Structure 1
Amino acid sequence: MTPDELSQLPLDQVQEIAVGLLERSLLFLSGLMRPWNAYQLIIALAIFAAAHVLAGVLKPRIYDWMRGLEGWPKWQMRALVIMHRRFRTILFVLLIWTVVAVMQDVTWPSRSYLLEVIAQLASAWLFIAFATRLIINGFVRALVRYGAWAWVTLSILGLTSEARNVLDNFAMTVGSTRLSLWLLLQAMVTLGLLIFVARFLATTSSARIRRNDEISPSMQVLAIKFLQVVLYGTAFFFGLKLVGVDLTGLAVLSGAIGVGLGFGLQKVVSNLVSGIIILLDKSIKPGDVISLGETFGWIQSLGARYVSVVTRDGKEYLIPNEDLITGQVVNWSHSNDFVRLDIFFGTAYQNDPHKVRRIAIDAAVGVTRVLNFKPPVCHIVGFGDSSLDYILRFWISDPTGGLTNIRGDVYLALWDAFQENGISIPFPQREVKMLEGSSLRTMKSAERTDLPD
């Protein structure tokens, strides 16, 4: 079929369908001119006005009542807020269904038919408005809401077959597959619903996995990632299968695309594989304190491509997973949380080194974060030019609290202890000795000597 024939065929059919819709519309408008149909429209407008007045009177009082509520769960408060915003529509639906029920009892059903159609439309629109609030993304929520409103309206008015024919006539053939607007719309709706269900299941399951203390943090991340891939992948392929897309051609196409992407995205694939290895071998996990080069901080989250590391100064580094596999990483809390720290200091030669060691150990023990059941130790490490050099070693169990600050606290405790016990901390000193027969000349005396007579 040539492109001209392809474009001419749906145009003819669309014209026929449009003529049919115009005839039905004229018939519907002429039916509205009948007395009872006009009365039903007037009754519907009166009900809407009554709902508007009642909402204006009751909404402020309900709002004041809601502000006084305390201790209610968050989801119940959100539901009340949503109902408060749609309160006029809720009143309109309740009033019009009450009027329809009364009229069906006191008069013929044909005299309340139009009111029943309006009640069905209002109820469906209200239900869709509430249901779509579960969708987090604003654009997707608006798209689903307006699409559902349009489809429900066509269904209640009995125009679904005409609309489906119009959408199905705009189509193109790719190989053995026929793609139409109707098929694309079905695919969007089906995939949207399945992905929403997959997202809900993934979120619920992830929350339960995180609450399970028997699973290690790294295995929790791995299980959550695997569950998300399975759920979203199943939703995507199952949705395509439901709308009639041939997955055989899609598999061949995806294989060809995968080969091309494999060469162009080597680093990305390497980071993905490295992330899986990190999760499996449990070398790092959220909450661990690590050092990688100049970066020192604790792991906030493990991603598919990178690891988020937050430092003490609030900077967040996104380190590729490959760097953690190939580089040298210091995990301060891999097997346990105990970390030993070393600090160096010196004292004057006239101070007793045995006394200095005891004072240094007692000062370190008095610092809050220093562990007592793993007592500090102090050793002489050398005879310096101006001082006896010592090393003080102590243990902590909370490296996430910082290392520089605990070193500073221990240094300050040493300073206070040395001041109390008369221990001096020397600084470099130089001595100048005058040799016999030499003289010392200052700058001013040299200048006076150089002056002419």
Structure 2
Amino acid sequence: MDPQETLPLDPEALIGLWEFLLAEGELLWRQAMRPWTTYQIGIILAVFLLAWGLRALIRPRYSDWLRSRENWPKWRLRIGLIVQRRMRMILFVAMIWAAYLVMKELTWSYRSLLLRVVANLSTAWLFIAFATRLIANPALGVVVRYGAWTWATLSILGWTDEAENTLESIAITMGETRLSMWLIIKAVVIMAVLLAMARLMAGASAASIRRNTAISPSMQVLAVKVLQVILFGSAFFIALKSVGVDLTGLAVLSGAIGVGLGFGLQKVVSNLVSGIIILLDKSIKPGDVISLGETFGWIESLGARYVSVVTRDGREYLIPNEDLITGQVVNWSHSNDFVRLDIHFGTSYQDDPHEVRRIAIAAAQSVNRVLSHKPPVCHIIGFGDSSVDYVLRFWITDPTGGLTNIRGNVYLALWDAFQANDISIPFPQREVRVLKDADPAAPVMD
């Protein structure tokens, strides 16, 4: 059996790497023993200490200046904070390049070789530190940062071929598929870069879509979600294709998995499809006021699986999309914001009903949120046992402000108006009489 098929590590590659490291180490030691190398090391240490001291002097003043920039946008403030944290490295890079250029003009080029290598390494490290700040996931950012630093160091020192051969020798063979460490690292790096680019493009495009007032809120949500799926899906498949993964087998596997998930996750798929239907037919959108069963509130956000509804008491209900499609939903602000509310009350038979209606309408019109261009109306709806029954109807345009509070304000206005005009609000009364021949312990109620 071929040892290459059983061992995950190629011994010959390790021997070659060891010989290469010994040769490079011997070369570096000979270089370090030269006088000009010692001078360059001293210059590098002096520049580092100078950068440290300048940072201690500049950073407090820079921090005070940055705090005074209150009107700056967030992205500019974020860059300012990154500069503050990397100030020592920025100063070191600027001064080491200046030292290299001066040494290059004053002496032979080989006498400034170490300065050039350190300048290139520090510049690469500084650029990578800034670039990896774009990655939102902290763990992924650390992996990409140190991975990029390692690769930049190998590239500047000219050790990329040896490192690639060593990583390629660390592999596992499964049938016709050979999975090496180099392939895994390349796939992770490419995928991280593409996902970061996709995230930036998705964020910028989403902000542009949300600023477009010609697109309805529901269509904005749908467009943003479709764009995110396309960008992140494309980044994933491009990364796999770039490292040589055969997507044909992946497509077959995805189809088989999809069939299994279709049977096992019917509710989840139903909610996903229902969410797309809600976004397309625009039946509800963020900001609408809805009632579903005992839940009354306004829509905070539309999700792929559920709709977030916030009630007046601060509770946030996550209602599955399927319930909004199959259930009866009252959308108080679907086609317009006009909402009519009814208030029932009764007055004494001794009060003039014409006067009662006039006073009730005037009381409702005195409340701020009641519309004046759609004036309230008051009607008699029946003659009760102890009162004449009325209904007072009025319109509002801000159901998000609450319904119970506006009803309470109108009731309070009615109470004040009836008290001012001597209109009584009767209530049922009962008279208890005790019959002579009956048991005193068993009163009869009429």
| Whole-Å separation in 1 of the counterparts to 2:5 and 2:228 | 46
Aligned to 2:38: 38
Relative to structure 1, the CA distance from residue 439 to residue 113 in structure 2 (aligned partners, 3 Å threshold; closer, same or farther) is closer
The amino acid of 2:21's aligned partner reads L
Unpaired stretches in structure 2, ≥5 consecutive residues: none
Q: Write out aligned runs for 1:143-162 (5 A).
A: 143-162=143-162
8 Å contact 2:9–2:170 — kept in the other structure? no
- The answer to whether 1:236 aligns with 2:210 is no
Cα deviation 1:139-159 (Å, max 9, x = unaligned): 121111111111101111111
Higher mean alpha-carbon deviation, 7-16 vs 189-198, is at 7-16
| Whole-Å separation in 2 of the counterparts to 1:252 and 1:337 | 50
Higher mean alpha-carbon deviation, 372-381 vs 278-287, is at 372-381
Higher mean alpha-carbon deviation, 64-73 vs 47-56, is at 64-73
Deviation at 1:163, TM superposition (A): 1.1
- The answer to whether 1:342 aligns with 2:342 is yes
Give the SS at the match of 1:349: coil
Q: Write out aligned runs for 1:187-202 (5 A).
A: 187-202=187-202
- The answer to whether 1:205 aligns with 2:205 is yes
Deviation at 1:9, TM superposition (A): 5.3
Give the SS at the match of 1:260: helix
Cα deviation 1:409-428 (Å, max 9, x = unaligned): 00000000000000111111
Deviation at 1:97, TM superposition (A): 0.9
| Whole-Å separation in 1 of the counterparts to 2:441 and 2:58 | 99
| Whole-Å separation in 2 of the counterparts to 1:296 and 1:233 | 37
The amino acid of 2:48's aligned partner reads F
Deviation at 1:441, TM superposition (A): 6.1
Aligned to 1:391: 391
Higher mean alpha-carbon deviation, 21-30 vs 260-269, is at 21-30
Aligned to 1:405: 405
Give the SS at the match of 2:319: strand
Aligned to 1:120: 120
| Whole-Å separation in 2 of the counterparts to 1:237 and 1:212 | 30
| Whole-Å separation in 2 of the counterparts to 1:341 and 1:382 | 19
- The answer to whether 1:166 aligns with 2:166 is yes
The amino acid of 1:365's aligned partner reads Q
The amino acid of 1:284's aligned partner reads I
Aligned to 1:418: 418
Give the SS at the match of 2:10: helix
Cα deviation 1:31-65 (Å, max 9, x = unaligned): 21222112211111111111111221222222233
- The answer to whether 1:223 aligns with 2:223 is yes
| Whole-Å separation in 2 of the counterparts to 1:232 and 1:5 | 36
Aligned to 1:251: 251
8 Å contact 2:190–2:239 — kept in the other structure? yes
- The answer to whether 1:267 aligns with 2:286 is no
| Whole-Å separation in 2 of the counterparts to 1:427 and 1:233 | 68
Q: Write out aligned runs for 1:54-453 (5 A).
A: 54-433=54-433
Give the SS at the match of 2:245: coil
| Whole-Å separation in 2 of the counterparts to 1:130 and 1:20 | 33
Aligned to 1:50: 50
The amino acid of 2:374's aligned partner reads K
Deviation at 1:231, TM superposition (A): 1.1
Deviation at 1:233, TM superposition (A): 1.2
The amino acid of 1:260's aligned partner reads G
Deviation at 1:161, TM superposition (A): 1.0
Relative to structure 1, the CA distance from residue 424 to residue 162 in structure 2 (aligned partners, 3 Å threshold; closer, same or farther) is same
Deviation at 1:191, TM superposition (A): 1.0
Task: Give me the CA root mean square deviation.
Answer: 1.9
Aligned to 2:18: 18
Relative to structure 1, the CA distance from residue 439 to residue 163 in structure 2 (aligned partners, 3 Å threshold; closer, same or farther) is closer
Aligned to 1:447: none
Higher mean alpha-carbon deviation, 271-280 vs 348-357, is at 348-357
Cα deviation 1:365-399 (Å, max 9, x = unaligned): 11111111111111122222221111111111110
8 Å contact 2:8–2:169 — kept in the other structure? no
Identity %: 67
Give the SS at the match of 2:349: coil
| Whole-Å separation in 1 of the counterparts to 2:55 and 2:318 | 52
8 Å contact 2:275–2:303 — kept in the other structure? yes
| Whole-Å separation in 1 of the counterparts to 2:228 and 2:181 | 30
Deviation at 1:11, TM superposition (A): 3.5
| Whole-Å separation in 2 of the counterparts to 1:64 and 1:9 | 55
| Whole-Å separation in 2 of the counterparts to 1:268 and 1:85 | 45
Deviation at 1:433, TM superposition (A): 4.8
| Whole-Å separation in 2 of the counterparts to 1:441 and 1:433 | 10
| Whole-Å separation in 2 of the counterparts to 1:202 and 1:133 | 17
Deviation at 1:81, TM superposition (A): 2.1
Give the SS at the match of 2:314: coil
Unpaired stretches in structure 1, ≥5 consecutive residues: 444-453
